[in-house]
Copies of this chain bind each other. A is one copy, B any other.
């Protein structure tokens, strides 16, 4: 099979699976990017078949991008960073997959994002995009906080900001709370005139539909809307507290990742902002690095 038959030095592929897309990057042994492919969502929590399909498709595209053949996936040692695999059942489902790689190593998307952010060094990350979660890895100790998904958790995330804003506006339109510019923003956003119009646009929709409102909620807050300020500040306070919990492991570096990382900064506590370092590499790098470490361990056994 693969490695032995071909007698080729293995290449590594890092795969970052997420709720909206799956990105795969092939690296040489010394960490140079050879090719990249992007496919649809790959979140085991929302369907294994689609996850595997997206991993295969992004791998195929990365191989073509690298000037290789589709069948060359057998030459690749793969690292997969996936949401949901902290649930033992889902981890086992992914590990049991008849994958197309020479070898496959699986961990959480949080873990690979953290490895990437610090280029393999220990550290902590908070991801605030559609969802929110925190992860710290120091020596052999790791700490994972939040990330329980919409609408159960993910406080301070884009979807959470959108949901809290919509909740408040619906209460305001029924006369239970004061209407502010946030109410006008939401009605205008959906081009509707009443609560039912909002409900028609949001009922049963995915977290990304709610997260699409986050920028506007932040704009309202930055413009001084009292309701928006209260929502954004509550979310940001949670993120600040999450950061302090991650700091309890004394990570050398701390990064914030995701679409809300930058706009939320103005609302975080100064002690947290002071500790933010830029991310050094993307999650795919982290996934590749993880695979490399595990692969080398397996050789040295």
Contacts and interface: CB of A to CB of B under 8 A. Distances in A.
Contact of A152 (B86, B146, B155, B163): B163
A209 to B, nearest CB: 11
A162 to B, nearest CB: 10
Interface stretch (A66-74, A192-200, A279-287): A192-200
Contacts of A163: 151-152
Interface in A125-162: 145-146, 148-149, 151-153, 155
Given A145-B174, A146-B174, A174-B146, A152 B203 contact: yes
Contacts of A174: 145-146, 245
A223 interface: no
Contacts of A195: 148
A17 to B, nearest CB: 17
Interface in A60-102: 86-87, 89
Contact of A87 (B86, B166, B196): B196
13 contacts: A45-B204, A87-B196, A87-B199, A87-B200, A89-B200, A145-B174, A148-B195, A148-B199, A152-B202, A153-B170, A153-B171, A174-B245, A176-B242
B175 A245 contact: yes
Nearest to A147: B199
A241 B166 contact: no
